[in-house]
Amino acid sequence: MTTSQERIIPTDLGNEMSRSYLEYAMSVIVGRALPDARDGLKPVHRRILYAMHELGLTPDRPFRKCARVVGEVLGKYHPHGDTAVYDALVRMAQDFSMRSPLINGHGNFGSVDNDPPAAMRYTECRLQALATEAMLRDIEAETVDFADNFDGSQQEPIVLPARVPQLLLNGSSGIAVGMATNIPPHNLGELIDGVIALIHNPEITDQQLIRHIPGPDFPTGGQILGTSAIKEAYTTGRGSITMRGVANIETIEHRGRPDREAIVITELPYQTNKAALIEKIAELVNDKRLEGIADIRDESDRDGMRVVIELKRDAYPRVVLNNLYKQTPLQANFGANMLALVNGEPQLLTLKQFLNVFLEFRIECITRRTQYELRKAEERDHILQGLLIALANLDRIIELIRHAADAPTARQELIAGYGLSEAQADAILQMQLRRLTALEAEKISQEHQELLAKIADLRDILQRRERILEIIETEATQLKTAFATPRRTVIEHAEGELDDTDLIANEKALILLTEQGYIKRMPVSTFEAQSRGTRGKAANKMKEDDVVEHFLTCCDHDSVLFFSDKGVVYCLKAYQIPTSSRTARGVPIVQMLPIPVDEKITSMVAVTEFSNDEYLVMLTKQAYIKKTQLSAFSNIRANGLIAISLEEGDQLRWVRRARIEDSIIIGSRQGMAIHFRADHDQLRPLGRATRGVRAMKLENGNEVISMDVLPSSIVANIAQVGEAEPELEAEETNSNGEELLAGNQGPWVLVVTNGGYGKRVPVSQFKLYNRATKGKIALKFRKQNDTLASLLIVNEDAELMMVTTRGIIIRQAVNAIPSQSQYATGVRVQRLDEDDAIAAVALVPPTNGEEEEAE
């Protein structure tokens, strides 16, 4: 029995697996998952656009069923599943997926809620004007190479002659084998500006290109936080860009019910599913991981997106919004991975490399188009030259043709007799009799002259690179004019870069905070100086049971530190506090800071610079005091920082800035004052999370009411306890019988009572004591129920502002208040209504020139 022997080839299984897998991997990388850096398209997208171009689905033609396009792509170019082709077609038509869609869709093409598109038999499509003008134009002019399709029956382009950097314009994402790409979309106008900048300066750097292309521009808008990640992605090819939706806090009116605060989302981060976001928020609320939300409604319509998150009445909008950013896709990261195919190989590209690859490809396209046009012009001119020869010898050529036996004989005789080519001879034989007229002969001659000029121009273009670059710039500028749209995504600059302080005048301002937590900022210029003893101006329109509790003067660029009774410090820039009119109530501070319900702001301090030479002196209700270096508070988290550790039942009440050479004066409700040095002997510096030491000895229900810091220049002239007191001139009285103290040029301790009386006492009358003693009398009260309201260090040329609990503010010169001894009762500094009282006193900050003089 004989059998045919089969040859068995021994093969190493490991090598075979490695080779086969590598072939598969490369086919996925090159033929499916990664875009070409030249036209920014994957094969499926390129085949869809080319098939639609062949079908004539231009913007001026009627829509055609998507099923027809998908069938064309499957049958001719793309032997894969119809779902893959249709999904790619749908994405190119979605304005929330593509920054500049390439296909115009008619019907249901899905939504930002991740709703699926209708079946391809229902939807229709055609090319967008941008696709025909910027992606497919000149494709017949031999600008790109063609290759056989999968069965060799058709030819397809291996790349489209793109006129814009489409890969950066619409971005791309794909997962290959062992690598992935994720390129964000950009703004068309900015990309063209970048290309033109590269043409003008080939040595331009990535950093310089960022001035023209500042960052991604997502189709859904939103915000990008910071520019460092953008720079990293553009210079290294990789970076994590933080995106954030746009949300505002609004007051929602309810008919018949009290108004409520609501967070309204109008823009989402790129590729965020709105329905999934709402579902995620609802899930967090149900799991009690997100507090303060009463209701969620999607009020989006054809006019735009609007997701309303209604808050509970006791919720803090800013806190809820911060939690939404932290726990939901309302804030997300775009992991840029700028990988694309260059010459068939995957490469990680920088911004300049992307534009360089595109520019070199564009130069190649223009060169090939020009060569094609030159060849066509030369071929046409060659025919015209033959026609001109025929017209010059018209009678003889007619005679020759009439006597020829047949067309081939006539062609050969024309070639032999007049030195014509076969093409010229054929053209003469095919020439119509009407072209023998004088007018037609003139047209042939004119066309010949025009072609000669065109040929010379085309040859000049091919010989000079600068002319090709001029053509690229002109065509790109025309596309920018026709198709560029304004930027949708706002790039928010991170800390340390250009921020609002560079755009805001550093004007003097005063900040008011009421007991019920309403805060507002007003220019100091709102209040002109008034005479002593007048009523002042209303500075706040408050609820009946609300009163002004804190009052601060500063400059708009200053950082304002807010200290709570729990010993926690928060920070805002002064300009971030909304400006309000005198009659406005202000905004709830809980909209500005994430303050818990059981916390209350008890002190505000303005800081221009967080210096190592300065300290914050903190005083509690139970008279514990400590000083901590100011620089320890330079980086305060959004949710606050512990400033002091408190005993059970104690509260942080006063915070002031001081230097080590300064001294501290503290006043009590019953009119006593203690004065001691701020040096390390009396008050050694402590860290943030410490309690402090005893500041003042309090008796008979007395309590601390005020604290201020005396500069070192004043302290040097003040006697210690036991030293001889400086001599002062005799006391005088004015026409009203008020005691005056002459012979002292200041500075003074300004003492003001709740009842509106005040005086200036020379600081020299307050000797330096040791800390934790009783102190001495600072003022005698005119009325039995009066108490000390404020104790402040002032100079004669300064101005001060006083605010009452009812929001009445008076601004007056310090020298309008007389100087008196420590035992005097003072004079009326502000006329008060019957149920009103002085709440706080603050100095008007000096201008820059005044600060220099003071130093």
Q: Tell me the two tokens of residue 721.
A: 């306890």
User: How far are the Cα atoms of 92, 108, 162 from residue 96, in angstroms, in the given order?
Assistant: 10, 14, 22
Residues of the chain within CATH 1.10.268.10 domain(s) are 371-483
* pLDDT tens digits, one per residue of 683-716: 888 888 888 888 888 877 778 888 888 887 666 5
Q: Does 229 score more than 70 pLDDT?
A: yes
Cβ 412 vs Cβ 405: under 8 Å: no
Please provide residue 347's backbone torsions phi and psi, each rounded to the nearest 5 degrees: -135, 145
Q: Tell me the two tokens of residue 666.
A: 């503290």
pLDDT for the residue numbered 245:
93
Q: How many CB atoms are located within 10 Å of the residue 134 CB?
A: 25
CA 172 vs. chain centroid, Å, equals 22
- Which residues make beta-bridge pairs with 840? 803
pLDDT for the residue numbered 735:
38
Q: Which of 120, 102, 94, 124 is nearest to 53 (CA)?
A: 102
Q: How many CB atoms are located within 10 Å of the residue 695 CB?
A: 26
Catalytic hit among 122, 372, 418, 575: 122
pTM over 0.75? The answer is no
Q: Does 729 score more than 80 pLDDT?
A: no
pLDDT for the residue numbered 505:
64
Mean pLDDT value of segment 579-598: 82
Q: Does 379 score more than 50 pLDDT?
A: yes
Please provide residue 506's backbone torsions phi and psi, each rounded to the nearest 5 degrees: -85, 75
Q: Does 853 score more than 50 pLDDT?
A: no
pLDDT for the residue numbered 467:
94
Q: How many CB atoms are located within 10 Å of the residue 213 CB?
A: 26
User: How far are the Cα atoms of 8, 446, 654, 809 from residue 428, in angstroms, in the given order?
Assistant: 68, 18, 106, 102
Q: What is the 3-state secondary structure of 641-683?
A: EECCCCCCCCCEEEEEEEECCCEEEEEECCCEEEEEECCCCCC
Which segment of 265-269, 396-400, 702-706 scores lowest on mean pLDDT? Answer: 702-706
Q: Quick one: pLDDT band at residue 13, thresholds 50, 70, 90?
A: confident
Q: What does the alpha-carbon distance between residue 150 and residue 75 come to, in Å, rounded to a whole number? A: 10
Q: What does the alpha-carbon distance between residue 35 and residue 33 come to, in Å, rounded to a whole number? A: 7
Q: What does the alpha-carbon distance between residue 129 and residue 475 come to, in Å, rounded to a whole number? A: 15
- In sequence order, what DSSP letters do the residues of 37-49 get, joined into one string? TTT---HHHHHHH
CA 612 vs. chain centroid, Å, equals 32
Q: Tell me the two tokens of residue 437.
A: 């007229």
Those residues with Cβ within 8 angstroms of residue 597's Cβ, 6 or more apart along the chain or in another chain: 314
Please count the residues of the chain.
855
pLDDT for the residue numbered 848:
47
Cβ 369 vs Cβ 138: under 8 Å: yes
Q: Does 12 score more than 90 pLDDT?
A: no
Q: Does 728 score more than 50 pLDDT?
A: no
Query: What SS3 state is found at 453?
Result: helix
Residue found under tokens 């003042």:
696
Q: What does the alpha-carbon distance between residue 648 and residue 658 come to, in Å, rounded to a whole number? A: 27
Q: What does the alpha-carbon distance between residue 825 and residue 821 come to, in Å, rounded to a whole number? A: 9
**327 or 529: which leads in pLDDT:** 327
Is the N-terminal amide bond of 685 cis, ω within 30° of 0? Answer: no
pLDDT for the residue numbered 849:
43
Q: In angstroms, how far apart are the furthest CA atoms of the chain?
A: 147
Residues of the chain within CATH 2.120.10.90 domain(s) are 500-848
* pLDDT tens digits, one per residue of 775-794: 888 888 888 778 888 888 88
The CATH topology of domain 371-483 is: Topoisomerase; domain 3 (1.10.268)
Q: Identify the CATH class of 246-329.
A: alpha beta
What is the enclosing helix (H) or strand (E) of 120? Answer: none
* pLDDT tens digits, one per residue of 654-676: 898 898 888 898 888 888 888 88
Q: Does 343 score more than 80 pLDDT?
A: yes
Q: Quick one: pLDDT band at residue 721, thresholds 50, 70, 90?
A: low
Q: Tell me the two tokens of residue 537.
A: 């101006």
* pLDDT tens digits, one per residue of 793-840: 888 778 888 888 888 888 888 888 888 887 888 888 888 888 888 888
Which segment of 163-167, 224-228, 534-538, 846-850 scores lowest on mean pLDDT? Answer: 846-850
Q: What does the alpha-carbon distance between residue 394 and residue 402 come to, in Å, rounded to a whole number? A: 12
* pLDDT tens digits, one per residue of 400-448: 888 888 889 988 988 888 888 999 999 888 888 777 777 778 888 899 9
Residues of the chain within CATH 3.30.1360.40 domain(s) are 246-329
The CATH number given to 500-848 is 2.120.10.90
- Which residues make beta-bridge pairs with 69? none
* pLDDT tens digits, one per residue of 87-114: 999 999 999 999 999 999 999 999 999 8
Q: What does the alpha-carbon distance between residue 337 and residue 626 come to, in Å, rounded to a whole number? A: 52
Mean pLDDT value of segment 380-396: 89
Q: Which of 811, 804, 806, 809 is nearest to 843 (CA)?
A: 811
Q: Rounded mean pLDDT of the chain?
A: 85
Q: What does the alpha-carbon distance between residue 187 and residue 214 come to, in Å, rounded to a whole number? A: 10
User: How far are the Cα atoms of 13, 216, 783 from residue 485, in angstroms, in the given order?
Assistant: 57, 14, 72
- Which residues make beta-bridge pairs with 224? 243, 491
Please say if 122 is a catalytic residue: yes
- In sequence order, what DSSP letters do the residues of 206-233 get, joined into one string? HHHHTTTS-S---TT--EEE-SHHHHHH
pLDDT for the residue numbered 125:
96
With the C-alpha atoms ordered 322, 327, 328, 334, is the resulting torsion angle positive or negative? positive
Mean pLDDT value of segment 387-401: 87
Q: Which of 560, 590, 564 is nearest to 576 (CA)?
A: 560
Q: What is the 3-state secondary structure of 435-479?
A: HHCHHHHHHHHHHHHHHHHHHHHHHHHHHCHHHHHHHHHHHHHHH
Query: First CA to last CA across the chain, in angstroms?
Result: 119
Q: What does the alpha-carbon distance between residue 317 and residue 323 come to, in Å, rounded to a whole number? A: 10
Q: What does the alpha-carbon distance between residue 75 and residue 85 come to, in Å, rounded to a whole number? A: 12
Residue spans of beta strands (DSSP E) within 359-437:
none
